[in-house]
Amino acid sequence: MKYIRAIFSEILVWFAVSISFYILEQIPVVKDSFFEQSVIVAISIVFFAIGAAKFYYLKNYKMSGLKLGIIMSLTALFLDIIITVPFVEIPNGRNYESFFTSPILWILAFVNAVSVFLWRKLNKNVV
């Protein structure tokens, strides 16, 4: 069950990130700047990941923060493979290669995993 909860935690983060990008694409000030959208989402993902980690550790699982962060980031990448690229990127004229070679994707995955790791390291006795 601990792995299912870890995957579910990241599904929540993935939805939050996807919705964030969608909302930012509608805001006139940032809709034409993918870089600005990415910076905003990179900051937001810290809070999304910490919230998901708090949710995960409510069950008092003992998984390390690094392991949880990696599982969560891999889950997000899998969701990108099966949902984001085919239903968002390809209809907009992009492809798997352009999506997965984007440094922004890997920065977001890294920030996600590191946020969980650091939060767990700093709050080991809280939850």
Quick: pLDDT tens for 71-110: 999 999 999 999 999 999 999 999 999 999 999 999 999 9
How many domains does one find in the chain? 1
Dump pLDDT digits (tens) for 41-63.
999 999 999 999 999 999 888 89
Dihedral sign of CA atoms 94, 95, 99, 102 in order: negative
Question: 9, 72 in Cβ contact below 8 A?
Answer: yes
- Mean pLDDT value of segment 97-126: 93
Confidence at residue 60, expressed as pLDDT on a 0 to 100 scale: 86
Phi, psi of 76 (to 5 degrees): -60, -40
Residue 127 has pLDDT above 60, yes or no: no
> What average pLDDT does range 17-35 have in this prediction?
95
The domain in which residue 15 lies consists of 2-122
Q: What are phi and psi of 27, to 5 degrees?
A: -90, 120
Q: Nearest CA to 56 among 111, 114, 116, 118?
A: 116
**87 part of a folded domain:** yes
Residues 53 and 65 sit within 8 Å (Cβ to Cβ): yes
127 found inside a domain = no
Backbone angles phi, psi at 77, to 5 degrees: -65, -40
